[in-house]
Amino acid sequence: MWETSVPVKGQVHFARAHPRILKPDLKARAKESVPLTLHKLFIDGLKPDELYFYQVVNVSESGDTLKVPVTQIVIPDYSQSAISFTVVGDNQGDTECWERLSDLMFKECPQFVVHCGDMVAYGHHKDDWTDEFFKQAQNLMRHIPLYPAIGNHEMNDEKYYQYFNRPYDDAFYTVKKGDLRLIFADTNKDMLQGSEQYRKLEETLATCKERWKIVIHHHPPFTSDIASYRSSLMAAADKGDPNIFQIEKPPLEKRLNAPFITLSPGYFTDSTRITIQNTNLTGSINFRLNDGNYQTAFSKEVSFICDNTATISAVISEPNNSSREALKTIVKLPPMEGQRTKAAKKIEAAYYEGYFTMLPDFERLAPSRLFTLDSLSLSGIQPRVKDHFAVRFTGEITIPERNVYRFFLESFDGSMLLIDGQMIIGNDGVHYEIFKEGYAALEEGVHRIDVRFFDFVRRETLNLKIGKQDGEMVDINHYIK
């Protein structure tokens, strides 16, 4: 792939190296039939561990030709060599550092490069890509492939998907390198249990046969640094493990895949079905509920009904070998009664100014201003100060049918969601964009919502979505209007 400033017909000239060669015999292997600015051509049939040369040629409509330097390339034979790669991330905004890192990586001769996201400062700005990312790493990327995870600074912009040949809005993908499976996830989107991306990740990990699996993503779900990824400036990190620094896998160990547990559904009001699958060719399923006795099934799948909150644990075992333990929790929720009156299609918002580092007790404060809005959104709170304010939104949503509903609350800084006076999600404290989920069993009818938010400094973010569990999530305002 490459890009030109004006439309041209692109070509890739290719040649295989031979002994005692002085100059590669480059011939056109792929051509474009129409002029383009973003070029993507394919060449197949390459053999591992063979030395090849390629050259990009651009032909304008007037016949002018521009050739880029001849570049050598080798497709590694991962069955005959160790897998060697470099990992880099968060270079956004520092072009000198990124250029230096690119040069250092190129000198190490990796087989490929993994990028953990935030390649650019502003994904919407084309110059950030062309002048501050690709330009500094042009020598590296001419010779060595780069596989990126998407970061928040890419802003989900279409240029990320264009430049890295991904379907738009789908930054989840996998790459196989010999006995290694690289899995790239999008932590800007919902990755909580029950989300579409969570299910894709779970299924990929359960079914891939490679001995090594590495998941790459931008935001850390946990960290070994005790001072990082805290829920607020005052809190201690609850996701860290100071013992996690190096992991070694014994070279001759035969490891069984863990069982694949499916819950239909995970949150329920009456009962749910639990299915446990063995994806291995051998082994039996051993499972139990809570701290009960283990049961053994010699079939490839076992399924049963459960009507109470419980934790399911399961392993796959055979003589002298067993998988890691898989755990899943099911939760029974009491239905919350809905009102039969018609919902008011408006949101009341109370606005407060003050130096907040946690959500205040709104009942004890006098609001600076009151607003009546047609949607739950910070954009309607105008005028407001740049930093140090809080808002309490109250209103009603109409639930069309009795079901378990999933709520998804993202904020920068702290927030909280209450339904019918019951807290569903707590996302308090001074923090970056953090999203949390909560579930509620709601009867058909009108339910009262209470969304609380405060802003400390920098930007402010507040997003609330709703959907049936395992279903599509939509903005909460769809249930207000």
SS (H, E, C) 286-318: EEEECCCCCEEECCCEEEEEECCCEEEEEEEEE
Q: 209: closest CA among 250, 184, 180, 185? A: 180
What are 436's two structure tokens? 């949390």
Q: What is the pLDDT along the chain (481 residues), one digit of tens a residue?
A: 999 999 999 999 999 998 888 888 999 999 999 999 999 999 999 999 999 999 999 999 998 999 999 999 999 999 888 999 999 999 998 999 999 999 999 999 999 999 999 999 999 999 999 999 999 999 999 999 999 999 989 989 999 999 999 999 899 999 999 999 999 999 988 887 777 888 899 889 888 889 899 999 998 766 656 566 555 556 666 555 555 576 566 665 677 888 999 998 899 999 999 999 998 989 999 999 998 999 999 999 999 999 999 999 999 999 988 888 888 999 999 999 988 777 778 999 999 999 999 999 999 999 999 999 999 999 999 999 999 999 999 999 999 999 999 999 999 999 999 999 999 999 998 887 888 889 999 999 999 999 999 999 888 999 999 999 878 889 999 998 7
One-character DSSP codes across 26-49: -EEEEE-SS-EEEE------PPTT
The whole-angstrom separation of Cα 1 and Cα 40 is 4
Domains of the chain: 2-74 (2.60.40), 85-216 (3.60.21.10), 260-332 (2.60.40.10), 347-479 (2.60.120.260)
φ, ψ for residue 378, nearest 5 deg? -70, -20
Query: What is the reported pTM?
Result: 0.70
Name the β-bridge partners of 327.
313
Cis check for the bond before 265: say yes or no (omega within 30 of 0).
yes
Three-state DSSP state, 327: strand
The whole-angstrom separation of Cα 147 and Cα 165 is 11
Q: Which amino acid is at 30?
A: A
pLDDT value of residue 230: 58
pLDDT value of residue 190: 82
pLDDT value of residue 220: 77
